[in-house]
Structure 1
Amino acid sequence: MKKIAACLFDLDGVLVDTARYHFLAWKKLADELGIDFTLEHNELLKGVSRMDSLDIILNIGNLQLSQEKKNALADQKNQVYLEYILQMNEEEILPGVKDFLTALRKLGVGVALGSASKNAPLILERLKIGNLFDAVIDGTKVSKAKPDPEVFLKGAEALAAKPAACIVFEDAIAGIEAARNAGMMAVGVGDPQTLSRANLVISGFRGLTPEHLFQQINEHTTKKRL
């Protein structure tokens, strides 16, 4: 079995479900702009940076605005989002996540966060799981959005791990592609059809152990090579 040196996790939709807070904040902004923004539209924003998300919404509404105005709107959305996440607590960690992270650390596997969110440190603080991460690579430390592999390559570098010995956990297509572009193994968290490019897809972390997952991903990767 291939030796796993590090595991890198996306935040939203993998460790915690903040997607609804993003949606509510973007929806409030879109309503003010007279744009009909739906849950289906919100799927287009998964794994996408704040400014790129705003551009997608403006395109939906056929609106063209100055960069100055866009910067102001992005800040406005973030303030609404912050109001939501400041009310978060440990109960919002997705089932099994804390046990899985704790087990990884006991095995001596490096653990890093790789997220486009600039609010990642605050969310980890609210969830009280910041101590379970050896490195946090967030939106303040990268300039290129997924599917560019920058966030995961920086995470591997921070953990002194070779990309081929890293597993990335992602719930978004762009994130799976970023992992592949980094030369890492990818575990999709969510729908198998949507995340079909991953080496392995899981529904979540409840009852899952690192040893079992490592065995599964090794078997699936071997089968794909045959």
Structure 2
Amino acid sequence: MSIFKQIKGFVFDLDGVITDTARLHTKAWHEIADQVGTPWSHELADKLRGIGREESLDIILRAGGKQDAYTDAEKTQLATAKNEHYQRLISTLTPQDILPGIPEFLHDLHEHEYLMSIASASRNAPAVLERLGLTQYFPKIVDPNCLHTGKPNPEIFIKGAAILGLEPRQCIGVEDAAAGVQAIDAAGEISVGIGDKDVLRGATIVFPTTSTLTLANISGRLKEAA
């Protein structure tokens, strides 16, 4: 049996895979970095990709040498302020913000009776999916509040398979961040990366953009990889 034939489900990251909410996270975190006096850079923004809210704040504070400048209560206030700003930004999302090729890909998966779940560190995933009009494809979403460890730990992708009633080996995980790809691989799922192949070199296969993400292309690339 080929690797692809054993696949029954797909576990998706959200930011940078379904829609570019990463730009909205970046905008909201940039504001917090300015507030605490941490210089903003592309390198800092990259470190926050696929990372949860509290850990992202810690990264920003450490980058500015501010890790001991705030109490736990003040850190909670900063993280809450970021989230409130982000929620205002996602309220402007529409189906036009779905990344190229994703509507067709999700429809094709549904037509072929693949199960689908969301494995995102974002607690706002249900709201984002609703704004995009994609709720019907994702009745199963991993609750970040039930996780003990964030990506690159595989826990979120293991749960992403489990809520579908599947084993990890029966799933393909789709990610745009290196930490996410590491998590998929550690979970024992096939990893499909979206983006720069050098950054996502740990992925089983990589597509430069979502526009080429199709069942046929995944099947073909997996045959080549085998």
TM over 0.5: same fold?
Answer: yes
Residue 39 (str. 1) matches residue 42 (str. 2): yes
Residue 69 (str. 1) matches residue 74 (str. 2): yes
2:173 paired residue number: 168
C-alpha distance in structure 2 between counterparts of 1:41 and 1:100, whole Å: 32
Give how far 1:46 is off: 0.7
Residue 24 (str. 1) matches residue 23 (str. 2): no
Give how far 1:68 is off: 1.0
| Alignment map for 1:197-212 (pairs within 5 Å) | 197-212=202-217
Letter in 1 for 2:30: K
| Alignment map for 1:1-226 (pairs within 5 Å) | 1-2=2-3, 3=5, 4-63=7-66, 64=68, 65-220=70-225, 222=226
SS for the counterpart of 2:144 is coil
Percent identical among aligned pairs is 38
SS for the counterpart of 2:145 is coil
Give how far 1:212 is off: 2.8
Moved more, 38-47 or 117-126: 38-47
The unaligned stretches of length 5 or more in structure 1 are none
Give how far 1:135 is off: 1.1
Q: Is the CA contact 1:167–1:186 (under 8 Å) kept in the aligned structure 2?
A: yes
The unaligned stretches of length 5 or more in structure 2 are none
Letter in 1 for 2:162: E
Q: TM-score scaled to structure 1, two decimals? A: 0.94
Q: Is the CA contact 2:175–2:191 (under 8 Å) kept in the aligned structure 1?
A: yes
Q: Is the CA contact 1:100–1:205 (under 8 Å) kept in the aligned structure 2?
A: no
Letter in 2 for 1:133: F
Q: Is the CA contact 1:146–1:174 (under 8 Å) kept in the aligned structure 2?
A: yes
C-alpha distance in structure 2 between counterparts of 1:121 and 1:134, whole Å: 10
Q: TM-score scaled to structure 2, two decimals? A: 0.94
Moved more, 211-220 or 16-25: 211-220
CA pair 141-124 structure 1, distance change in 2 beyond 3 A? farther
Q: CA RMSD in A?
A: 1.2
Q: Is the CA contact 1:36–1:61 (under 8 Å) kept in the aligned structure 2?
A: yes
Give how far 1:201 is off: 0.2
Letter in 1 for 2:121: A
Give how far 1:158 is off: 1.1
SS for the counterpart of 1:16 is coil
